[in-house]
Amino acid sequence: MTDRLPVEPLRVPERTPIPGLPDRLIELHLHLGGGVAPHILWSMAHEQGFKLPVRDYFEFVDLVSSNPDKVKSLEDYLRILHEWTEKIQSSPHAIERAVYEVFAKEYRGSLVDTMELRFNPMKRNLGGQRDLDHIIHAALRGLDRACLEYRLNGGLILCLAREFDADLNEIIVDKAIKYRSRGVVGIDLAGTEQNNLELRADTVARFADMFARARTAGLKTTVHTGETPNTDADGVIAAVRHLKVDRIGHGIRAAYSAEAMRVLRDEGVTLEICPTSNLHTRAVADLEEMRFVLRTFIDHGVRFTINTDATYMLNTDLRREVEVLVTSGILNGDDVAACFRHAREASFLA
């Protein structure tokens, strides 16, 4: 006889098996601005005394989430980040907590044990009021804590912005190089490809030197391109040829260009596909177009990985992204296994 209640050992929660999905997952394309749970953003906003244009918490959840009524383009999607989540994350304390929570939650929820998380530090310094080094150090502290506590392999990618002047982007590259040995693993270029901001042979030069400098310093590189229906595959080709990127964020438009697919395959550039995000921003019209895009990549030997882009903002997680592609018959178990193998191979983490 014992007076103790029987104690079941704690286990990882049971999950519906998904064909081809490994036990531990890897995420390569997640933005800090879209990855923090609304209740944490809410708490961080109150800690800083932000005046919020909502009556209660549930209106706040709507404010920081994407949905098909509110988001009809990449611009609409980026506006949510710009107006709210980035601002709320703009203090050392807030960004440390934000980074920590994203890594910890994705491990607990989806068993993501390897992750590259990206953000633009200059969109977290309140237009210059905060010191960039303080912001980046704080983000690295959050990364460090999460990796230690949950035994994760993680790194940060600093995003440049298409809409920034070159001198601001140069500063971000300087910071990425400065913190390379501390956990910054690469740089990215984000923002909509419009108003002459698309990567074409004639406009790409303004970024080529920055990417070369980052590469020489040992950083890896990726670029958002080919993400919107109004662009073509030229940006994908320019990113590979002129910026010599290791990976491309989205790159959906490449499926419509035999040349772009050949360049990607020949140069061994891996695409970071984010299915729900691509549906929300209308990068693809529907799952049928997603099927065409991904099957075309597979048929042409173009490597891609599956990612979330923004877990909470899109109400998704990495398991769900894979599940959508499998249940809709777009990918089979072998394809899923290949995506995660490619992700490990294309990771910027050592």
Among the listed ranges 148-156, 168-176, 290-298, 301-309, the one in contact with Zn ion (CB under 5 A) is 301-309
Q: What is the DSSP letter of 37?
A: -
Nearest CB to Zn ion, comparing residues 92 and 321: 321
Q: How far is the CB of 250 from Zn ion (least distance, A)?
A: 7
Q: How far is the CB of 249 from Zn ion (least distance, A)?
A: 5
The burial of 139, by beta-carbon neighbours within 10 Å (0-12 exposed, 13-18 middle, 19 or more buried), is given as: buried
Site residue total, Zn ion (CB under 5 A): 1
Nearest CB to Zn ion, comparing residues 309 and 335: 309
Which residue from 345, 330, 304, 343 is spatially nearest to 25, judged by alpha carbons?
A: 343
Among the listed ranges 193-201, 240-248, 307-315, 320-328, the one in contact with Zn ion (CB under 5 A) is 307-315
Please compute, for residue 26, the number of CA atoms within 13 A of its CA located in the half-sphere on the CB side. 23
Nearest CB to Zn ion, comparing residues 42 and 207: 207
Q: How far is the CB of 299 from Zn ion (least distance, A)?
A: 25
Among the listed ranges 124-132, 142-150, 160-168, 303-311, the one in contact with Zn ion (CB under 5 A) is 303-311
Among the listed ranges 44-52, 119-127, 279-287, 306-314, the one in contact with Zn ion (CB under 5 A) is 306-314
CB-nearest residue to Zn ion: 309
Nearest CB to Zn ion, comparing residues 91 and 231: 231
25-31: strand order across its sheet:
25-31, 112-119, 153-161, 184-190, 220-225, 247-250, 270-273, 304-306
Among the listed ranges 98-106, 123-131, 253-261, 302-310, the one in contact with Zn ion (CB under 5 A) is 302-310
Q: How far is the CB of 309 from Zn ion (least distance, A)?
A: 5
Nearest CB to Zn ion, comparing residues 90 and 120: 120
One-letter amino acid for residue 195 of the chain: N
Residues in contact with Zn ion, shown as a per-residue x/- string from 252 to 291 under the rule CB under 5 A: ----------------------------------------
Q: How far is the CB of 277 from Zn ion (least distance, A)?
A: 7
Nearest CB to Zn ion, comparing residues 271 and 330: 271
DSSP string, 195-227: TT-S--TTTTHHHHHHHHHHHHTT-EEEEEES-
Q: Cα(22)–Cα(14) distance, rounded to whole angstroms?
A: 14
* Ramachandran quadrant class, 66 (left: phi over 0; alpha: psi -120 to 50; beta: rest): beta
Q: What is the DSSP letter of 233?
A: T
Q: Cα(86)–Cα(124) distance, rounded to whole angstroms?
A: 6
Q: Which residues lie near Zn ion (CB under 5 A)?
A: 309
